[in-house]
Chain A
C-alpha cells in the first residue's frame, strides 16, 4: 500500500479515527479478537526515546518517566478510545448541582505495593499536596479544599464552577497519578528517593532498575483486579539508537515499542515482514503537532495579513509526505483533528498557493525591493530530527516568496531559551502536545495569562486578544458540554483567523508490536496506561 493511498484512507476515516492499518496489515486488538487472554510471560517494551531521569518524576517529566511511572501509579479514572471515562481507583466522580464541588467514591480494598491500605486520606493528600502544588497547578487553580468524608469518599471543593469533562480529564490525565501519602507526607516530593523505585497501587511492582539499561516490573499479586495483570514480568528497556531498536525487534528481543520506536522507513519494513503490526491508536489524549509560531513583538510578523501570507507559502502535504515519511497529516487549524470532541473543521484555512502569498504581501505593503521583501529570523527547535528538515524547508518556502531568511537550528536547551525565555525569533518552528481537553494546555498558547517568560510551551508569541481571553475564561467554567464545544469552536475560528500560531502537520504517533502481543492500544493514552490487560499469545 503506497503512502498516498494510506492518506486517502485517513481522509476516509475522518472524525479522528486514525489509521489502524499501515502497510496493509489489518490488526486484531486484544480480547476483541475473541481469544481468551493467557496469563504469564515476559513482555519487553520500549519507546522512541531515552531512559527517564527517574522512574517517577512528580511534575510530569515528559514521556519517559510517564511511561515507567504509570505501570506503578494509577489514576482515579482513565479515558478510552471512544473518549469515555472508565473507573480505575475511583468508582464514581459526581458533580454537585452547582458544579462547585465533586464527590469521589473510591474503590474499596485497594492496597499499596507495601501492603498499606489505599484510603480517602491518600486522595486528599494528592489533591492538596501533589496535584494542586506540583503536577497540575494551573489546571486546578479553582481547587480550594479536599476532605475525606469517609474511608472511601472524598469531597473536592472549588471556588468556581468546574466542568465535568475538565475535571475528569485531569484525574485521568498525565498529572493525575495517585502517590502514597505514607511515603511522601513530610518529605520533599520532588527529590524523594522513593521516586527512583515508586510504590503504587498498579498491576506491576518495580523489581529492579538497572540505570542505563532497563527497568524490570513484576506482577503485583495483590492487585485489586484479581484477573490482572496477565503478564508475569514487564521489562522496559531503552536503546539510544533507533536503528538498534529495529534490530532488537527483528532479533526477537523486543516485543512492543510505543511512540515511534523506530525510524519511519523501518516501521514500514517491519510491517512488511508480517511478524509485526503497527497502529496509530492509543494517542488521542496525547496528540502532537508541529507548529509555526509568530512573534507578536516583532514589527513585521505581528501583522495578521503577513502571517496569513506566510501560511499560504507553506506546503503542508510536502511536510507530511517527505519530512515525516507520511507519518503525519496536514493540519487544518490549531487543534488536531484527532480531537473528536473539540476539533472544528470550519475555520479559515490557508491552502498552498505561492502566488497568492506574494499578492497578499504586496497588498500588505511589502513589495519586492532588490530581490527581497524583508528579512526574518527563523528558529527551528532542534529537539526533533524532523524539525531540522522542517527548518530547511520553511527557509526555502519563504525564499520562494522573496523573504530573506536567517535560519537557526539550535539544540534543545538553546531552542528553549531562544523561543520561550528570550523571545529571540520572528518565526519559531516548535511542537505542541496536549490532551483532548483544551484547558489549560492548548489554550495557554494564546491567552494573555499564558505569557510567562521562561515557561516552555506556553504563549511565547506575546499574542494578546481580549476576545480570546474571554472565550477561554468562559470555557473554563462552562458546565454545559454542548456550550463548551461551541466555545471551543469559536476559539479555533479566532486563532485560525489571526494565526498567532498554527499547526503545520499533525504528527502520527505509532506503536509497533510483535503480532502475538494482545490487548494493547485500547486507551486514549496507551503509553501512560498500566498495561495490566496486555497479554502474550504465544
Chain B
C-alpha cells in the first residue's frame, strides 16, 4: 500500500507541470490580456504609463520567457505577484482558501449525513411513502439551481424571519474569543453549507438507494438473514458497508471540485472564498492567480484521489488484492 501511495505522489510532479503549461497556453490563447483589462478598468489612457505597466508586469517579454520564468518561480514556491490584489499570489490564495475549505467540508458533511441516511431509509422502506418522499426530495434538490435555493433560503431565514445573516463569513466587529468566533462563523456558514450540501445530498441519496437495493439482492445478505441476524445488523454491517463504495467514488470526484463547485454559492452568500477569486481572475485575465489556483487545486485533487484509493482498500479489501 505504501508503494501505491508513493507512486501516486510521484505522479503529481508531471501533473503539476502539465497543468502549468496547459493553463498558461490557454490563457495566452484567450483574447485580451490582463494589461487590457487593467488599463481599461483603471481608465489609464496615458501611453507613457501603459508602457510602464507593461514593463512592470513583465508583459514586454515573449510568452515563452514568461512561462519559463513562471515555472522557475513555482519551483521556488513563488507564485508571482497579483496586480489585482497588489500582493503575492500565494498570500492571496492562502487568504481565501480557508473559507472555501470550511464551506466544502461542511457541505460535504451535510451531504454525506443527510444523503446516506436518506438513501438507506429509502432502500429499507422501498416502495413506501418514505421512499417516494425521499425520491421526490432528491429530484427536487438535484434539479433546483443552488443559487435559487440559496436566495430563497436567504429570503426566508434572513429577510423574513431574521434568524440568520444575509451573507459574509463573520459579523463585522463581532465578538472576540475563539468560542464566540466559531459560533459566529457557524451561523454564517449554515445557509450556504445547507444549500450546497442539499444538492450533493440528493445525489448521494439516489446513488445510495440504488446501491443498497442491489446489495440487498446478493446471496450473502440472504445468508446473513438466514443465520438469524437482526434486520438492523444486516443493514448496517453487511449492506451499508458494501453499498458505500459508489458513494466514496462520488465523494472523491467532488473533493476535486472544491474550487469550482462553490463559485455560485460564494457569490450568492458573499462567502470570501476562492471560487469568487477564481472567477474574478479569469474575467480579468489575471493569469498569475489563475495559474496559482490551478496548481494548488490540482494538488488538492491529486491528494484527494489518493485518499479515496485508501478508503477503497479499507472498505473492500479485495481491491488491494487485485
Q: Which A residues have a C-beta under 8 Å from some C-beta of B?
A: 42, 44, 50, 53-54, 57, 59-62, 133-134, 137-138, 174, 188, 190-191, 193, 195-196, 210-214, 216, 233, 235, 237-241, 243-244, 247-248, 250-251, 253-254, 410-418, 420-421, 440, 444, 452, 454-458
A191 and B81 contacting across the interface, CB-CB below 8 Å: yes
Q: Which residues of A contact B48 (CB under 8 A)?
A: 133, 137
A410 and B31 contacting across the interface, CB-CB below 8 Å: yes
Inter-chain CA distance A364–B47, complex, in Å, is 38
19 contacts between A and B (CB under 8 A): A59-B43, A60-B44, A62-B41, A212-B95, A214-B168, A216-B173, A237-B168, A237-B172, A240-B276, A241-B147, A244-B151, A248-B166, A251-B158, A412-B32, A417-B32, A417-B36, A421-B36, A456-B36, A457-B43
A211 and B95 contacting across the interface, CB-CB below 8 Å: yes
Say yes or no for B169: interface residue by CB 8 A criterion.
yes
Inter-chain CA distance A420–B44, complex, in Å, is 13
Expressed in whole angstroms, the minimum distance between the Cβ of A514 and any Cβ of chain B is 14
Say yes or no for B61: interface residue by CB 8 A criterion.
no
Inter-chain CA distance A250–B284, complex, in Å, is 32
Instruction: Bits for B136-169, please: 1 = Cβ < 8 Å to A, else 0.
Output: 0000000000010001001100110010011111
B166 and A211 contacting across the interface, CB-CB below 8 Å: no
Say yes or no for B30: interface residue by CB 8 A criterion.
yes
B53 and A416 contacting across the interface, CB-CB below 8 Å: no
Q: Which residues of B contact A62 (CB under 8 A)?
A: 41-43
Q: A193-B86, A237-B168 are in contact. Are A59 and B42 (CB under 8 A)?
A: yes
Known: A42-B173, A137-B46. 5 other contacts (CB 8 A): A59-B44, A212-B270, A212-B272, A240-B268, A452-B45
B86 and A54 contacting across the interface, CB-CB below 8 Å: yes
Inter-chain CA distance A160–B172, complex, in Å, is 51
Expressed in whole angstroms, the minimum distance between the Cβ of B51 and any Cβ of chain A is 10
Q: Which residues of A contact B56 (CB under 8 A)?
A: 188, 190-191
Inter-chain CA distance A409–B169, complex, in Å, is 35
Say yes or no for B200: interface residue by CB 8 A criterion.
no
Q: Which residues of A contact B43 (CB under 8 A)?
A: 59-60, 62, 174, 456-457
Inter-chain CA distance A285–B171, complex, in Å, is 35
Q: Which B residues have a C-beta under 8 Å from some C-beta of A?
A: 30-34, 36-37, 39-50, 52-53, 56, 81, 83-87, 92, 95-96, 99, 147, 151, 154-155, 158-159, 162, 165-170, 172-173, 266-273, 276-277, 280, 283-285
Inter-chain CA distance A25–B83, complex, in Å, is 43
B168 and A416 contacting across the interface, CB-CB below 8 Å: no
| Residue of A191, A211, A243 touching B96 (CB-CB under 8 A) | A211
B166 and A414 contacting across the interface, CB-CB below 8 Å: no
B83 and A53 contacting across the interface, CB-CB below 8 Å: yes
The 4 nearest A-B residue pairs measured at CB: A212-B272, A413-B32, A456-B40, A137-B46
Q: A137-B48, A138-B46, A243-B151 are in contact. Are A413 and B33 (CB under 8 A)?
A: yes
A213 and B40 contacting across the interface, CB-CB below 8 Å: no
